[in-house]
Structure 1
Amino acid sequence: MEIAYQLYTSRKALPLTGQFPFLKSIGYDHIEVWPGAYKEDPKGFRRALDEAGLDAPSVFIADPGEADDLQEWIAAAQILGGKTIVRPGLAPANRPAEADGWKRLAERLSKEAEIARAAGLNFAWHNHDFEFQPLADGSRPIDLIVGHSDPLVRLELDCGWVFQAGGDIETELKRFADRIIAIHAKDAAPLGTVEEDGWLAHGDGVIDWVALLPAIEASNAKLAVVEHDEPADWEYVAKRSYESLAQLFGGR
């Protein structure tokens, strides 16, 4: 299992590219990027990655909106040397209230996955908590997305958001094992914690990662991504999380 750092974690510590030597010194070889990091200058961002000895195998693109914007995001991801592009979610105002809306989203994602494959890229959906919360008819958005999309639509399962949704991470890892291409190894404080939005560095939280390890390794996940949405100390989060995950995966 490869370990990556989601640069969104330290988005408030500018310049972003100035973080690269520190991340490399900790042990990271891979980062995951979100559009705000690279969209203004993908070529310059790629140069900074290369100079630091880092790569970006997983590239977040924009949420799916009304615009047919996939080709421009594919072009940027190719400049960055990405292997997988990831649609990261939906803003609250854009989340369907009924199952049919999620089925339509699944159809769109299937078409986008085909386009991505033709460009030599994997395509994935990244979850938050809302996909695991039942709609009025009892169906769950995550099941509708997976059940009504082509298997080319992979999942980057954010384990921390599954926890905050009140779900069972192991169950979801097993349920979607074949579709999972990566995980967000996002650790959490006890439910209801408000400090740092309830997130902690990997290894400092209440999620039992050792117990989850067999299910993680039985899935098709190849990448474990460190993320914390609101860290008080991003450098601590980056270092502690890398060390914890390296130990979990046997030094890899």
Structure 2
Amino acid sequence: MKKNFTLLVLALAWIFCPTETFSQKKGDPMLQVPLGIASYTFRNHWKNGVEPTLDIIQKLGFTEFEGGAPQGVSPEDFKKMLNDRGISIPSTGTGFELLESDPQAVADRAKALGASYVMCAWIPHKRGAFSKEDADRAIKAFNEGGKVLKENGITFKYHVHGYEFQPYGDGTLFDYLVENTDPRYVSLQMDVMWTHFGGGDPVALLKKYGNRWVSLHLKDFRKGAPKDMSGLTGPENDVALGEGELDFPGILREANKIGIKHMFIEDESDHELEALPKSIAYLKSLTY
């Protein structure tokens, strides 16, 4: 009887208490995935040499890379350069038009890099006026392209950029996009800064769409800077993680609950080599 009572108490605790009570202890690190970096962070460095740039990435401690091979380097050679430095390429990107016109070419390039994910970060539209028609075009391209990618063993993900939060129906055009894309073929990557910039709540959206999210871009937004739905802002508004408006403890807590396995820092400032060590130290300082 006593044993049965104990089992009942444990079962009720599992139902009514937060999952993290059982999986996290006080003092555990909130960053529970490999340290990843988005290629765009080093947009101004590749011209100085691919291997010297990869040496910087390695010295900073990154072990995952999201992006494609720089101009003039084959995917196979780039993959080897990264592997030689203990860095994998779980994810790469594609332009919308190529996904729409030739998804098999997108899949072939991703496989050459050894990537398991392909993300698209921009839907063509008039600046500041993302429309239902734009969303419908994307829904078709994502569902059809995502199906081809899945047939090639690759997961497609749409990278949220902030302009999708135009009001529509009882929600937003982002909600419309998610509800009309097939979860078998279309996953999501949250760029937490662009989500915030467009008026979305990163933590609430992680909760709302759960395991549709498969990765994050981590960057912070300068306190008090103006926001809109253009999906565009200046590099002066990109600050080191922990120095801006974003709630990273809340974001990481929810991402860990969902089981997100890939998080990539993306620094769009003009002083990335100064900011990145601060961002890394901040992430590693966060504990439960």
Quickly say closer, same or farther: Cα 1:118–1:205, change in 2 above 3 A: same
- Counterpart position of 1:86: 119
Q: State the aligned residue count.
A: 247
Q: Which consecutive residues of structure 1, in runs of 5 or more, have no partner in the other structure?
A: none
> Is 1:23 paired with 2:38?
no
> Is 1:227 paired with 2:266?
yes
Q: How far is the alpha carbon of 1:126 from its aligned partner?
A: 0.3
For 1:39 and 1:207, locate their aligned partners in 2 and report how far apart those are by CA, in whole Å: 37
**What is the identity, as a one-letter code, of the residue corresponding to 1:9?**
T
RMSD across aligned positions (CA): 2.6
- Counterpart position of 1:6: 38
> Is 1:142 paired with 2:180?
no
- Answer yes or no: is the 8 Å Cα contact 1:30–1:56 preserved in 2: yes
Match of 2:139 among 106, 113, 132: 106
- Answer yes or no: is the 8 Å Cα contact 1:164–1:191 preserved in 2: no
Match of 1:58 among 91, 99, 103: 91
- Answer yes or no: is the 8 Å Cα contact 1:177–1:220 preserved in 2: no
- Counterpart position of 1:172: 205
- Counterpart position of 1:196: 235
Q: How far is the alpha carbon of 1:95 from its aligned partner?
A: 8.9
Q: Which consecutive residues of structure 2, in runs of 5 or more, have no partner in the other structure?
A: 1-32, 227-232
**What is the identity, as a one-letter code, of the residue corresponding to 2:245?**
V
For 2:131 and 2:40, locate their aligned partners in 1 and report how far apart those are by CA, in whole Å: 30
Structure 1 window deviating more from structure 2 (113-122 vs 39-48): it is: 39-48
Match of 2:104 among 71, 83, 86: 71
Secondary structure, in 3 states, of the residue corresponding to 1:178? helix
Q: Deviations over 1:152-196 (max 9, x none)?
A: 310001110111112222111111212000011111112426762
Quickly say closer, same or farther: Cα 1:98–1:187, change in 2 above 3 A: closer
TM-score normalised by length of structure 2: 0.77
**What is the identity, as a one-letter code, of the residue corresponding to 1:198?**
N
Q: Deviations over 1:75-116 (max 9, x none)?
A: 111111101011111244499854244134213211211211
For 2:201 and 2:137, locate their aligned partners in 1 and report how far apart those are by CA, in whole Å: 27
- Counterpart position of 2:9: none
For 1:96 and 1:66, locate their aligned partners in 2 and report how far apart those are by CA, in whole Å: 22
Quickly say closer, same or farther: Cα 1:64–1:246, change in 2 above 3 A: farther
Secondary structure, in 3 states, of the residue corresponding to 1:173? helix
Larger radius of gyration: 2
> Is 1:205 paired with 2:244?
yes
Quickly say closer, same or farther: Cα 1:216–1:205, change in 2 above 3 A: same
For 2:97 and 2:126, locate their aligned partners in 1 and report how far apart those are by CA, in whole Å: 13
TM-score normalised by length of structure 1: 0.86
For 2:177 and 2:129, locate their aligned partners in 1 and report how far apart those are by CA, in whole Å: 12
- Answer yes or no: is the 8 Å Cα contact 1:6–1:227 preserved in 2: yes
Match of 1:187 among 220, 239, 262: 220
For 1:180 and 1:66, locate their aligned partners in 2 and report how far apart those are by CA, in whole Å: 20
- Counterpart position of 1:246: 284
Dislocated runs of 4+, deviation >4 Å: 94-97
Quickly say closer, same or farther: Cα 1:222–1:92, change in 2 above 3 A: same
Quickly say closer, same or farther: Cα 1:195–1:161, change in 2 above 3 A: closer
Q: How far is the alpha carbon of 1:56 from its aligned partner?
A: 1.0
- Answer yes or no: is the 8 Å Cα contact 1:28–1:242 preserved in 2: no
Output aligned runs, 1:27-46, within 5 Å: 27-34=61-68, 37=70, 41-46=74-79
